[in-house]
Structure 1
Amino acid sequence: MKYKGLTLMVLMAFFLTPKVFSQEFTAGVKGGVNFFETLDFSDTGTLPDSDVGFHGGIFGQYNFSPVFFVRPEIEYSNITLHYKLRRLDTSYKLDKISASALFGAEIFNNFSVFAGPAYQHFLNKEYSAQVREPEIIINSWAIQFGVKYDIKDWIGLSVKYDYTADSNKRQILSLQAADGNVYNYSSDDGRVNQIFCSVYFTIFNSSNNKNKRAKSGGRGCYF
């Protein structure tokens, strides 16, 4: 599938970048909570209530100057939206894996901005009351942008907006009420734009390894 190619490229960036370039490379893990931006049923104008979603993943960051960096990320996220429609209640669950390539700049005192494309692979995208199986339409491409702040060398905070491109398609959903009757609803595509609030931990830093080698006089092997 297409997403495998992009995921492979991101993984290669994690492991090949520090070997090809002699500048600082860091890698680590991240996680946190996410909130939906909007997703409504077009024929009712109904906006959902939302559970707080969660996400987690890995990241790498190559600093190719004191200011600019590239930050590949692979991230799993989950969120559930609850709708109270005219004739029934239903929930929409979305699980996905995103592979992104973010380009950023430090603007002052460990505070940075970033943006870039992301490819999305959807593990689950369905309504709880759905009785037929037309595929929920969601564009596979998204744009992510946000800010991050390095509290220490090993920990930081970030806020990121995840905007999925419009598929330009409407769809008819067949949903079953508690009385057994089936009703059709016209809906926008199934995209959910989200805000991600994360904490990240750096577990590898190439500059630390350089310092260790310098102190040891170049002896030994470091990973």
Structure 2
Amino acid sequence: MKKSILLFGLICFSYCLTAQSEFGIKGGLNFTFFKVTEGDFGTNPDTEVGYYAGLFSDFSINDNFRLQPELIYIGINDFKFLNAPIYLKYNINSDLHILVGPSLNYFFDFFSNNFKVRADLGLGYDLSDNLNLHMKYTIGFEELSPNIIFLGIGYKL
């Protein structure tokens, strides 16, 4: 079931790349807040700084709404995973946007459960027609899934 959901997300992303859409690259820093410390499910989170880089596609639904799927590689020390969010993007004005949607994640070597579905909430600001700043917060629903803040820059090709 989980692999089917991931496959569906990757197919949607592939379709978006071939549809009438804008395409770009993005990257930046992430700040990860783990909810556990070495098997202890306590409330003292550890924080790690990492990086991310990937691709995005952005296409119009109507004047105010867009769909923006992404495929992102994330590294936090030895902790690596793929992130495939599918955002509904609302244009507050011509430069400021709210992004919300599910996030499909495949974790490499993360215990026995490698696939997780999470929720993302983000803001984007267009500096120019091609360059934008973005910030998003990813919420992990399970005890072993970290919450992450992303700060980065994107460039439409």
Same fold flag (TM > 0.5): yes
TM-superposed deviation, 1:38 = 3.6
**Structure 2 counterpart SS, 1:72:** strand
**Structure 2 counterpart SS, 1:37:** strand
Aligned to 2:60: 63
| Stretch deviating more after TM superposition (96-105 or 32-41) | 32-41
Q: Residues 104-115 of structure 1 correspond to what in structure 2 (within 5 A)? A: 104-115=89-100
Aligned to 2:75: 78
1:145 has 2:124 as partner: no
C-alpha distance 136-150 of structure 1, shift in aligned 2 (>3 A): same
Instruction: Give me the TM-score of the superposition, normalised by structure 1.
Output: 0.62
Superposed CA RMSD: 2.0
2:93 and 2:45 map into 1 onto residues whose CA distance is 38
Aligned structure 1 segments of 4 or more residues deviating by more than 4 angstroms: 43-46, 136-139
Letter of the 2:88 counterpart? F
Instruction: Give me the TM-score of the superposition, normalised by structure 2.
Output: 0.86
2:56 and 2:76 map into 1 onto residues whose CA distance is 21
Aligned to 2:101: 116
1:190 has 2:144 as partner: yes
TM-superposed deviation, 1:114 = 1.0
Structure 1 residue ranges without an equivalent (≥5): 19-24, 81-92, 126-134, 167-188, 204-223
TM-superposed deviation, 1:40 = 2.6
Aligned to 2:9: 6
TM-superposed deviation, 1:11 = 1.1
Q: C-alpha offsets along residues 26-68 of structure 1, whole Å, 9 cap, x if unaligned?
A: 1100000000134233466543252x20001100111222211
TM-superposed deviation, 1:201 = 0.3
TM-superposed deviation, 1:157 = 0.3
Larger Rg: 1
Aligned to 2:84: 99
Q: C-alpha offsets along residues 139-173 of structure 1, whole Å, 9 cap, x if unaligned?
A: 6101111100011011000001111222xxxxxxx
TM-superposed deviation, 1:12 = 1.3
2:59 and 2:41 map into 1 onto residues whose CA distance is 47
